[in-house]
Amino acid sequence: MAFENIDYRVDGPMALITIDREDRHNAISLGTLDELQVAVAQAADDDSVRVITITGAGSAAFASGSDLSEVLHRDFKKALEPIVQGLADQLERTPKPTIAAINGICMGGGLEVALGCDLRIATPNARFATPEGKLGIIPGGGATARLPRLVGRGWGMEMLLMGDPIDAERALQIGLITRIVQPEELIPEARRMAAHLASFAPFVPRTMKAMVNFGMEASLAGALMLEKYAQGALVQTDDKVEGISAFLEKRDPDFKGR
Protein backbone atom coordinates (compact mmCIF):
# COMPACT_ATOMS: atom_id res chain seq x y z
CA MET A 1 0.00 0.00 0.00
CA ALA A 2 1.30 3.46 -0.93
CA PHE A 3 0.90 5.81 2.03
CA GLU A 4 -0.19 9.43 1.54
CA ASN A 5 -0.58 10.61 5.14
CA ILE A 6 2.15 8.71 6.95
CA ASP A 7 5.76 7.67 6.46
CA TYR A 8 6.73 4.08 7.24
CA ARG A 9 10.26 2.83 7.55
CA VAL A 10 12.10 0.05 9.34
CA ASP A 11 15.05 1.36 11.35
CA GLY A 12 16.98 -1.63 12.70
CA PRO A 13 14.66 -3.51 15.09
CA MET A 14 12.20 -0.58 15.13
CA ALA A 15 9.39 0.25 12.74
CA LEU A 16 9.05 4.04 12.72
CA ILE A 17 5.60 5.28 11.70
CA THR A 18 5.38 9.05 11.24
CA ILE A 19 2.08 10.91 10.92
CA ASP A 20 2.99 13.17 8.01
CA ARG A 21 0.42 15.98 7.79
CA GLU A 22 2.63 18.74 9.14
CA ASP A 23 0.62 21.48 7.42
CA ARG A 24 -2.43 20.35 9.46
CA HIS A 25 -0.49 19.84 12.71
CA ASN A 26 -0.73 16.12 11.95
CA ALA A 27 -4.48 16.09 12.45
CA ILE A 28 -5.77 12.55 12.12
CA SER A 29 -8.18 12.13 9.24
CA LEU A 30 -10.04 8.90 8.55
CA GLY A 31 -7.62 8.22 5.73
CA THR A 32 -4.71 8.70 8.13
CA LEU A 33 -6.29 6.25 10.57
CA ASP A 34 -6.67 3.65 7.85
CA GLU A 35 -3.02 4.03 6.90
CA LEU A 36 -1.88 3.87 10.53
CA GLN A 37 -3.76 0.63 11.02
CA VAL A 38 -2.23 -0.87 7.89
CA ALA A 39 1.25 0.23 8.98
CA VAL A 40 0.88 -1.19 12.49
CA ALA A 41 -0.34 -4.49 11.05
CA GLN A 42 2.58 -4.50 8.60
CA ALA A 43 5.06 -3.93 11.43
CA ALA A 44 3.41 -6.59 13.56
CA ASP A 45 3.81 -9.15 10.74
CA ASP A 46 7.46 -8.28 10.04
CA ASP A 47 9.73 -10.65 11.98
CA SER A 48 12.62 -8.18 11.75
CA VAL A 49 10.61 -5.59 13.70
CA ARG A 50 10.74 -5.92 17.47
CA VAL A 51 9.31 -2.50 18.48
CA ILE A 52 6.78 -0.15 16.85
CA THR A 53 7.21 3.62 17.31
CA ILE A 54 4.69 6.28 16.29
CA THR A 55 5.65 9.95 16.00
CA GLY A 56 4.57 13.11 14.19
CA ALA A 57 6.31 15.03 11.43
CA GLY A 58 7.92 18.32 12.36
CA SER A 59 8.36 19.94 15.74
CA ALA A 60 4.92 21.48 16.28
CA ALA A 61 2.75 18.44 16.84
CA PHE A 62 2.64 14.72 17.46
CA ALA A 63 -1.01 14.89 16.46
CA SER A 64 -3.32 17.80 17.18
CA GLY A 65 -6.41 15.60 17.27
CA SER A 66 -8.99 14.29 14.88
CA ASP A 67 -9.50 16.24 11.67
CA LEU A 68 -12.33 18.57 12.72
CA SER A 69 -13.46 19.12 9.14
CA GLU A 70 -14.56 15.47 9.23
CA VAL A 71 -15.88 15.51 12.79
CA LEU A 72 -18.14 18.45 11.88
CA HIS A 73 -20.17 16.17 9.62
CA ARG A 74 -20.02 13.04 11.79
CA ASP A 75 -23.46 11.76 12.78
CA PHE A 76 -24.57 9.41 15.56
CA LYS A 77 -24.16 6.29 13.43
CA LYS A 78 -20.64 7.28 12.40
CA ALA A 79 -19.73 8.21 15.97
CA LEU A 80 -20.51 4.65 17.10
CA GLU A 81 -17.87 3.21 14.79
CA PRO A 82 -14.58 2.29 16.52
CA ILE A 83 -12.55 4.91 14.67
CA VAL A 84 -9.63 6.03 16.87
CA GLN A 85 -10.59 3.33 19.37
CA GLY A 86 -9.79 0.74 16.72
CA LEU A 87 -6.22 1.98 16.29
CA ALA A 88 -5.61 2.27 20.04
CA ASP A 89 -6.99 -1.23 20.55
CA GLN A 90 -4.74 -2.51 17.78
CA LEU A 91 -1.68 -0.93 19.42
CA GLU A 92 -2.60 -2.56 22.73
CA ARG A 93 -3.27 -5.96 21.17
CA THR A 94 -0.17 -6.24 19.01
CA PRO A 95 2.34 -8.43 20.86
CA LYS A 96 5.21 -6.08 20.08
CA PRO A 97 6.01 -3.17 22.42
CA THR A 98 4.84 0.19 21.12
CA ILE A 99 6.29 3.66 21.77
CA ALA A 100 4.73 7.08 21.25
CA ALA A 101 7.50 9.62 20.59
CA ILE A 102 5.78 12.95 21.23
CA ASN A 103 7.01 16.34 20.07
CA GLY A 104 4.69 19.33 20.49
CA ILE A 105 0.89 19.14 20.56
CA CYS A 106 -0.65 15.83 21.60
CA MET A 107 -4.35 16.44 22.03
CA GLY A 108 -7.74 14.86 21.44
CA GLY A 109 -7.50 11.93 19.08
CA GLY A 110 -3.73 12.32 19.00
CA LEU A 111 -3.53 11.78 22.74
CA GLU A 112 -5.81 8.78 22.39
CA VAL A 113 -3.42 7.22 19.88
CA ALA A 114 -0.56 7.80 22.34
CA LEU A 115 -2.63 6.25 25.14
CA GLY A 116 -2.85 3.06 23.10
CA CYS A 117 0.95 2.76 23.14
CA ASP A 118 2.85 0.94 25.87
CA LEU A 119 5.46 3.65 26.40
CA ARG A 120 5.29 7.42 25.92
CA ILE A 121 8.29 9.74 25.72
CA ALA A 122 8.15 13.46 24.97
CA THR A 123 10.11 16.63 24.38
CA PRO A 124 9.96 19.64 26.75
CA ASN A 125 7.60 21.51 24.40
CA ALA A 126 4.99 18.72 24.37
CA ARG A 127 1.47 19.67 25.44
CA PHE A 128 -1.31 17.25 26.30
CA ALA A 129 -5.06 17.83 26.50
CA THR A 130 -8.50 16.37 25.95
CA PRO A 131 -10.26 19.53 24.70
CA GLU A 132 -13.34 17.82 23.25
CA GLY A 133 -15.66 19.23 25.94
CA LYS A 134 -14.99 22.74 24.61
CA LEU A 135 -16.32 21.59 21.24
CA GLY A 136 -19.62 20.26 22.54
CA ILE A 137 -18.57 16.60 22.48
CA ILE A 138 -16.58 14.13 24.56
CA PRO A 139 -13.60 11.98 23.58
CA GLY A 140 -14.50 8.99 21.44
CA GLY A 141 -11.16 7.25 21.04
CA GLY A 142 -10.79 5.75 24.49
CA ALA A 143 -9.57 8.66 26.65
CA THR A 144 -12.38 8.41 29.21
CA ALA A 145 -11.37 4.80 29.86
CA ARG A 146 -7.59 4.76 29.36
CA LEU A 147 -6.56 8.13 30.80
CA PRO A 148 -7.91 7.59 34.37
CA ARG A 149 -6.45 4.07 34.37
CA LEU A 150 -3.07 5.51 33.52
CA VAL A 151 -2.85 8.69 35.61
CA GLY A 152 -5.49 7.98 38.26
CA ARG A 153 -9.05 9.21 38.62
CA GLY A 154 -8.10 12.64 39.95
CA TRP A 155 -5.85 13.75 37.12
CA GLY A 156 -7.98 11.87 34.62
CA MET A 157 -11.01 13.91 35.66
CA GLU A 158 -8.96 17.12 35.74
CA MET A 159 -7.83 16.65 32.15
CA LEU A 160 -11.14 15.35 30.82
CA LEU A 161 -13.45 17.84 32.53
CA MET A 162 -11.30 20.96 32.38
CA GLY A 163 -9.86 20.32 28.93
CA ASP A 164 -6.83 22.53 29.58
CA PRO A 165 -3.35 21.56 28.35
CA ILE A 166 -0.67 20.24 30.67
CA ASP A 167 3.02 20.50 29.89
CA ALA A 168 5.62 17.77 29.69
CA GLU A 169 6.82 18.22 33.27
CA ARG A 170 3.30 17.75 34.63
CA ALA A 171 2.75 14.80 32.29
CA LEU A 172 5.91 13.21 33.71
CA GLN A 173 4.80 13.86 37.30
CA ILE A 174 1.44 12.16 36.83
CA GLY A 175 2.79 9.22 34.83
CA LEU A 176 1.33 10.13 31.45
CA ILE A 177 4.87 9.97 30.03
CA THR A 178 7.99 8.36 31.47
CA ARG A 179 10.84 10.31 29.84
CA ILE A 180 11.53 13.86 28.67
CA VAL A 181 14.24 14.25 26.03
CA GLN A 182 15.41 17.13 23.90
CA PRO A 183 13.84 17.33 20.41
CA GLU A 184 16.99 16.23 18.61
CA GLU A 185 17.17 13.19 20.90
CA LEU A 186 13.53 12.08 20.56
CA ILE A 187 13.92 9.51 17.78
CA PRO A 188 17.45 8.49 18.86
CA GLU A 189 16.01 7.80 22.34
CA ALA A 190 13.20 5.71 20.82
CA ARG A 191 15.86 3.91 18.78
CA ARG A 192 17.89 3.20 21.94
CA MET A 193 14.81 1.91 23.72
CA ALA A 194 14.01 -0.34 20.77
CA ALA A 195 17.56 -1.70 20.69
CA HIS A 196 17.36 -2.39 24.42
CA LEU A 197 14.07 -4.26 24.04
CA ALA A 198 15.43 -6.14 21.03
CA SER A 199 18.28 -7.44 23.19
CA PHE A 200 15.81 -9.43 25.30
CA ALA A 201 14.63 -12.93 24.52
CA PRO A 202 11.78 -12.38 22.03
CA PHE A 203 9.18 -14.00 24.27
CA VAL A 204 9.89 -11.64 27.18
CA PRO A 205 8.51 -8.22 26.07
CA ARG A 206 5.42 -9.72 24.44
CA THR A 207 4.66 -11.90 27.47
CA MET A 208 5.26 -9.00 29.86
CA LYS A 209 2.92 -6.81 27.80
CA ALA A 210 0.22 -9.48 27.74
CA MET A 211 0.46 -10.00 31.49
CA VAL A 212 0.13 -6.30 32.26
CA ASN A 213 -2.81 -5.82 29.88
CA PHE A 214 -4.61 -8.86 31.30
CA GLY A 215 -3.69 -8.03 34.88
CA MET A 216 -5.08 -4.49 34.65
CA GLU A 217 -8.51 -5.90 33.78
CA ALA A 218 -8.49 -9.10 35.86
CA SER A 219 -8.82 -9.74 39.56
CA LEU A 220 -5.56 -9.75 41.50
CA ALA A 221 -5.89 -13.48 42.11
CA GLY A 222 -6.52 -14.21 38.45
CA ALA A 223 -3.63 -12.02 37.31
CA LEU A 224 -1.21 -13.64 39.76
CA MET A 225 -2.24 -17.12 38.70
CA LEU A 226 -1.78 -16.36 35.02
CA GLU A 227 1.58 -14.75 35.74
CA LYS A 228 2.83 -17.99 37.31
CA TYR A 229 1.65 -20.03 34.32
CA ALA A 230 3.37 -17.59 31.95
CA GLN A 231 6.58 -17.77 33.93
CA GLY A 232 6.24 -21.53 33.98
CA ALA A 233 6.12 -21.54 30.18
CA LEU A 234 9.16 -19.28 29.83
CA VAL A 235 11.34 -21.27 32.23
CA GLN A 236 11.06 -24.18 29.80
CA THR A 237 12.51 -22.25 26.86
CA ASP A 238 16.02 -22.52 25.48
CA ASP A 239 16.30 -18.73 25.85
CA LYS A 240 15.92 -19.05 29.63
CA VAL A 241 18.88 -21.42 29.75
CA GLU A 242 20.89 -19.12 27.49
CA GLY A 243 20.00 -16.00 29.47
CA ILE A 244 21.00 -17.40 32.85
CA SER A 245 24.10 -19.12 31.45
CA ALA A 246 25.24 -15.89 29.79
CA PHE A 247 24.77 -13.96 33.04
CA LEU A 248 26.76 -16.50 35.06
CA GLU A 249 29.47 -16.62 32.41
CA LYS A 250 29.59 -12.81 32.17
CA ARG A 251 28.91 -12.68 28.41
CA ASP A 252 26.18 -11.32 26.17
CA PRO A 253 23.32 -13.77 25.57
CA ASP A 254 22.54 -15.14 22.13
CA PHE A 255 18.76 -15.55 22.18
CA LYS A 256 17.08 -17.63 19.48
CA GLY A 257 13.42 -17.10 20.25
CA ARG A 258 12.78 -20.66 21.29
Q: What is the mean pLDDT of residues 148-174?
A: 96
Q: Is the residue at 104 inside a domain? A: yes
Query: Is the whole-model pTM more than 0.85?
Result: yes
Q: Which of 53-57, 75-79, 210-214, 244-248 reaches the highest mean pLDDT?
A: 53-57
Decide which of 167, 183, 198 is a domain's last residue.
Answer: 198
Q: What is the pLDDT, as a whole number, of residue 256?
A: 85
Known catalytic membership, residue 132: yes
Catalytic-labelled residue, pool 22, 70, 112, 217: 112
CATH number for the domain spanning 175: value is 3.90.226.10
Q: Is the residue at 254 inside a domain? A: no
Decide which of 160, 179, 198 is a domain's last residue.
Answer: 198
Q: What is the pLDDT, as a whole number, of residue 1?
A: 66
Catalytic-labelled residue, pool 132, 184, 217, 249: 132
> How buried is residue 16: exposed, middle or buried, by Cβ count under 10 Å (0-12/13-18/19+)?
buried
State pLDDT tens for residues 113-153: 999 999 999 999 999 999 988 888 888 889 999 999 999 99
State pLDDT tens for residues 62-98: 998 776 655 555 544 444 444 557 889 999 999 999 9
Name the average pLDDT for the chain: 89
Do 126 and 234 fall into the same domain? no
What is the rounded distance in angstroms from the CA atom of residue 70 to the CA atom of residue 220? 42
What is the rounded distance in angstroms from the CA atom of residue 133 to the CA atom of residue 149? 20
Known catalytic membership, residue 92: no
Print the domain residue range for 27.
Answer: 6-198
Q: Among 69-73, 160-164, 215-219, name the one with the lowest average pLDDT.
A: 69-73
- The two beta strands, 127-129 and 166-167, are antiparallel
Specify the number of domains making up the chain.
Answer: 2
